[in-house]
């Protein structure tokens, strides 16, 4: 099969070269048109080629990139902003990208994943007229996306109260690729990967209008789906299989607790594996959480009246764990022959109570990130080549202005750059009082 595919791609290349349609590094600003393939030779890591592409009216566009000895990566840009992309996480030799585009001028960029080099054939397979179906509040619709119908589009308007938009696949293990955009700004408001079988968006009250695009993720199998739009206060999607009703806010929210994944775990004096061991959290016991370290690697807990730190990688968390940051104290090194003693702890049948106030000294000074080794910052909380903002050198300092709810990224300064919290303790350090860092959305 691989030999046949390689032979077919080779025949396409021969045909294109005979027609004078190949593109080289000297004509990277060439144009792209439907059913007119171009080929590029990626000779070094990080190299990309850009082609001007124009639509006179809104269309569903189907792009295909065929790689020879390389995994292609595609992106579509308008006015310098990425409107659609496929980074080819599976390193496939054939990449398909189906997307709805308004009339206008675009740039189609092709590159290679990783450090690969080779030939890529780029082709606009189809430009299909787009039918946009209105989606009414309180209504449920069903359809499918496939190779024949790669994109289905709906439009709807916000209401005077918040709305829930549900999307559910008819397949148990995957669904359509979903993109929600704001009509006024053209910006993407939310998305779902084809690896997910469903999801929910919360639409704020107002006068905005939105467009919902559901795309086929590739393969031979059609993907059926159901879409439902309802007000938050209503129960219009009760019969929607597999969806969970909105949370009743009157119910009390469970406090955050952690339980060892397997066996007992060490409770340490500070947020470091080099810190002295105060005792252990036994298997099956849930300990209430006081806070989390700025890098997200350690929970600050209380068990048996003793406060200490456990690694997030060795415990399960339960309840409402959107807790505050706590700056750990200086590390007291572990003696050469530690002899941890079990801490007094509540029985497994007892209900954990809220922890007592933090007894560690309050951190002072502004929350500050100091770079200790060269590292990248990004324009959005998404680590890839397209979103690199700058390379910070050792000695740089940043003042963070917010963080994502899952604490994987911190926003810097005026919001033009982001930093990954996985770099804390590796290429950057955090000092000062970061407990008041607000949660922000992208």
pLDDT in tens, 7-28: 454 544 444 444 443 333 344 5
Distinct helix (H) and strand (E) counts, the chain: 1, 32
- Over residues 25-82, the pLDDT tens digits come to 344 558 999 888 998 898 887 788 899 999 888 888 888 888 888 888 888 888 877 7
Higher-confidence residue: 277 or 6?
277
- Over residues 332-389, the pLDDT tens digits come to 776 554 455 555 555 544 556 666 555 555 566 778 888 888 888 888 998 887 788 8
The tokens of 172 are what? 């148990």
Range list for CATH 2.30.30.40 in the chain: 252-346+354-360
* Side-chain-side CA neighbours of residue 7 (13 Å): 4
To the question of pTM greater than 0.75 for the whole model, the response is no
Q: Which CATH number fits domain 252-346+354-360: 3.40.50.1220, 2.30.30.40, 3.40.50.11740, 3.30.70.3420?
A: 2.30.30.40
In this model, does residue 421 exceed pLDDT 80? yes
In this model, does residue 144 exceed pLDDT 70? yes
The pLDDT assigned to 243 comes to: 43
Q: What DSSP string describes 86-125?
A: E--TT--SEEEEEEEE-SEEEEEEEEESTT--EEEEEEEE
CATH 2.60.120.380 fits 2-128, yes or no: yes
Q: DSSP class of residue 325?
A: B
Q: Can you say whether the dihedral through the CA atoms of 125, 130, 131, 135 is positive or negative?
A: positive
Region label for 304, one of left (φ > 0), alpha (ψ between -120 and 50) or beta (otherwise): left
Number of other residues whose CB lies within 10 A of the CB of residue 299: 28
Q: Which CATH number fits domain 132-231: 3.90.1150.10, 3.30.360.10, 1.10.10.60, 2.60.120.380?
A: 2.60.120.380
The tokens of 100 are what? 């709805």
Cβ neighbors of 416 (< 8 A, separation 6 or more) are 379, 389
Number of other residues whose CB lies within 10 A of the CB of residue 385: 13
Q: Can you say whether the dihedral through the CA atoms of 384, 385, 388, 390 is positive or negative?
A: positive
Res. 156 pLDDT band, cuts 50 70 90: very high
Cα 298 to Cα 162, 269, 293, 326, 406, distances in angstroms: 36, 11, 5, 10, 14
- Topology adopted by domain 368-431: SH3 type barrels. (2.30.30)
């Amino acid at each position: 099969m691989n030999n046949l595919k390689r032979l077919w791609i080779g025949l396409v290349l021969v045909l294109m070269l005979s027609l004078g349609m190949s593109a080289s590094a000297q004509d990277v600003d060439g144009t792209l048109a439907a059913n007119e393939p171009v080929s590029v030779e990626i000779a070094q890591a990080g190299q990309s080629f850009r082609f001007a592409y124009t639509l006179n009216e809104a269309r569903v566009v189907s792009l295909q990139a065929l790689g020879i000895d390389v995994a292609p990566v595609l992106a579509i840009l308008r006015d310098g902003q990425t409107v659609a992309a496929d980074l080819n996480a599976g390193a496939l030799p054939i990449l398909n990208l189906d997307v709805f585009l308004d009339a206008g001028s675009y740039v189609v960029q092709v590159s290679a994943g990783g450090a690969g080099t080779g030939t890529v054939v780029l082709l606009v397979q189809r430009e299909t007229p787009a039918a946009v179906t209105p989606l009414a509040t309180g209504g449920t619709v069903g359809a499918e996306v496939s190779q024949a119908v790669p994109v289905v589009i709906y439009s709807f308007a916000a209401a005077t109260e918040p709305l829930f938009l549900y999307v559910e696949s008819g397949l148990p293990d995957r669904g359509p690729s979903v993109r929600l955009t704001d009509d006024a700004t053209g910006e993407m408001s939310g998305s779902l990967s084809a690896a997910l079988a469903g999801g929910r968006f919360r639409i704020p009250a107002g006068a905005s209008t939105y467009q919902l695009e559901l795309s086929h993720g590739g393969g031979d199998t059609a993907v059926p789906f159901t879409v439902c739009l309802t007000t938050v206060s209503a129960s219009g999607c009760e019969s929607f299989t597999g969806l969970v009703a909105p949370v009743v806010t009157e119910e009390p929210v469970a406090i955050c607790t952690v339980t060892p994944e397997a066996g007992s775990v060490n409770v340490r004096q500070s947020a470091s594996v080099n810190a002295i061991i105060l005792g252990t959290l036994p298997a099956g016991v849930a300990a209430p959480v006081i806070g989390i370290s700025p890098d997200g690697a350690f929970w600050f807990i209380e068990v048996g009246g003793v406060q200490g730190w456990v690694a997030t990688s060795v415990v399960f968390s339960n309840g409402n764990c959107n807790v505050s940051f706590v700056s750990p104290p200086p590390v007291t090194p572990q003696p050469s022959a530690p002899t941890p003693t079990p801490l007094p702890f509540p029985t497994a049948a007892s209900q954990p109570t809220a922890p007592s106030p933090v007894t560690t000294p309050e951190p002072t000074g502004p929350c500050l990130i100091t770079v200790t080794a060269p590292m990248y910052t990004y324009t959005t909380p998404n680590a890839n080549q397209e979103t690199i903002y700058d390379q910070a050198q050792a000695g740089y300092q940043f003042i963070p202005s917010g963080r994502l709810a899952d604490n994987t990224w911190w926003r810097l300064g005026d919001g033009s750059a982001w930093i990954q919290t996985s770099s804390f303790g590796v290429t950057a350090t955090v000092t000062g009082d970061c407990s008041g860092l607000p949660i922000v959305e992208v």
